[in-house]
Amino acid sequence: MRTNLTLQQLEAFEKVASTGSFRAAAQALFVSQPALSRTVRMTEEVLATRLFDRDTRHVELTPAGHELLPIARRILMEFDGAFSELSQFLDGRKGHVTIAAIPSVGVAWLPRAIAALRKKIPDVSFTLAEAPAEPLLDLVERGDADFGITVEPPRDASLRYTHLFDDPFVLLCRRDDPLARLKAAPWSVFAKHPFIASSSQGSIRPIIDAALLRRGVNVAPAFQYPSVAVGGAMVSEGLGITAMPTLALHLIALDRLTMVPLQRPSLHRRIGIVTRAGRSLSPACSAMIQHLVQLPKRSRPPLSRHEQQ
């Protein structure tokens, strides 16, 4: 037989049992004593048994009341615990967030950002995914990632972009290259030295090509690298020079390399958060995005030792 008792009825019963007094229980629950008595009476009617033996001075549990009390307390405790978890979820203090990031952001910035976030939202767990710029957008659009951190994508009605910070480009060359002594280098330098270009599938190549085109610099790449790490290794072996954003330098072995600021024009790639338009984010996800947007205002991505030289 299924018995339908409300949480209000269980709470009223438990409070009377705990205090041993209808008056004290009514005061604790902020209800009138007659209202509390009616609630207990309705509970007894539903169960078809007395829960309390009472007279003008004493309230005692009946055998049925003794049986119900641990059950009522367990149900109330489980409800309070579950409701507390829901409250933490709705407040953005609990939940799980899946983040996709391009490799340079995933190595140079995101772990540091998450470490700072853990101090604010310690009960939010994370899954991190790494992908190049275009596949990353697919992860976000399919819902496989709650949001992505990547270069600013072309305008798309299905995506929303929130800017985080700018990632400046530098000239990357060997330390024994005469170019390493320059305080700054123009983009025309790539027309006079073997240029190692990034893959056309990555996020770096379109930005560099556009910069060279604006300056009217005609460059025929001597080599093309498939990944940032390979590009750095090629420069390290003296095969040429290249241009890279500073975050990408964290993916390279820089022992034999140095970087020179690029000017005329100075160039950067915009890094930000990409979400799918029209998709509701969890409170934890929204809270994390809010914290991430505020982080760059206090600290830019960390510079490597070689960048500071």
pLDDT at position 308, please? 40
Q: Is the pLDDT of residue 271 over 90?
A: yes
Q: Please state, for a pLDDT cut of 70, what percent of the chain lies above it.
A: 90
Instruction: Give the confidence band of 93 by pLDDT, cuts at 50, 70, 90.
Output: low
pTM summary value: 0.67
- The pLDDT, as a whole number, for residue 305 is 37
CA torsion through residues 129, 134, 139, 141, sign? positive
CATH number for the domain that contains residue 202: 3.40.190.10
Where does the pLDDT of residue 168 fall: very low under 50, low under 70, confident under 90, or very high at 90 and above? very high
Domain count, the chain: 3
**Residue 17 pLDDT more than 50?**
yes
> What is the rounded radius of gyration, in angstroms, for the C-alpha atoms of the chain?
32
In a domain, 2, yes or no: no
The answer to whether position 150 is within a domain reads yes
Instruction: Tell me what pLDDT residue 259 has.
Output: 92
**Alpha-helix residue ranges (DSSP H) falling in 121-221:** 133-142, 204-214
Instruction: Tell whether 46 and 79 lie within a shared domain.
Output: yes
The Cα 137–Cα 16 span in angstroms is 59
Phi, psi of 9 (to 5 degrees): -65, -45
Q: Are residues 142 and 288 in the same domain?
A: yes
Place of tokens 């993916």: 251
- Say yes or no: 12 and 140 in one domain: no
The mean pLDDT value for 200-210 works out to 84
Mark whether 82 and 130 lie in a shared domain. no
Strands (DSSP E) found in 102-158: 124-130, 147-151
Is residue 252 in a domain? yes
43-67 mean pLDDT:
86
Chosen domain end from 90, 110, 127: 90
Residue 291 shares a structural domain with residue 198: no
Query: Do 263 and 183 fall within a single domain?
Result: yes
**Residue 56 sits in a domain of what CATH number?**
1.10.10.10
What's the confidence (pLDDT) of residue 202? Answer: 75
Residue-level pLDDT at 91:
57
Per-residue pLDDT at 161:
95
> Is 119 a domain residue?
yes
Q: Is the pLDDT of residue 122 over 90?
A: no
Residue 305 lies in a domain: no
Q: Of the candidates 90, 125, 147, which is a domain's last residue?
A: 90
Q: Do residues 221 and 288 share a domain?
A: no
In contact, 26 and 36? CB cutoff 8 Å:
yes
- Give the mean pLDDT of the chain: 85
Mark whether 134 and 283 lie in a shared domain: yes
Q: Tell me: do 156 and 274 sit in the same domain.
A: yes
Looking at per-residue pLDDT, the higher value among 65 and 233 belongs to: 233
307 within a domain of the structure (yes/no): no
| Per-residue pLDDT at 297 exceeds 80 | no
Establish if 304 belongs to a structural domain.
no
If asked whether residues 215 and 101 sit together in one domain, one would say no
Alpha carbon distance 103, 99 (integer Å)? 12
Q: Which of 90, 119, 136 is the last residue in one of the domains?
A: 90
Q: Which residues span the domain enclosing 110?
A: 95-164+270-298
139 shares its domain with 215: no
**pLDDT value at position 163?**
93
Tell me how far apart the terminal alpha carbons of the chain are, to the nearest angstrom.
79
The whole-number pLDDT of residue 206 equals 87
- 204 and 232 part of one domain: yes
**Model confidence pLDDT, tens digit, residues 126-144:** 889 999 888 999 999 998 9
Q: Does the pLDDT of residue 298 top 60, yes or no?
A: no
Residue 33 has pLDDT above 80, yes or no: yes
Given pLDDT bands bounded at 50, 70 and 90, which one contains residue 64? Answer: confident
Who wins on pLDDT, 107 or 85? 107
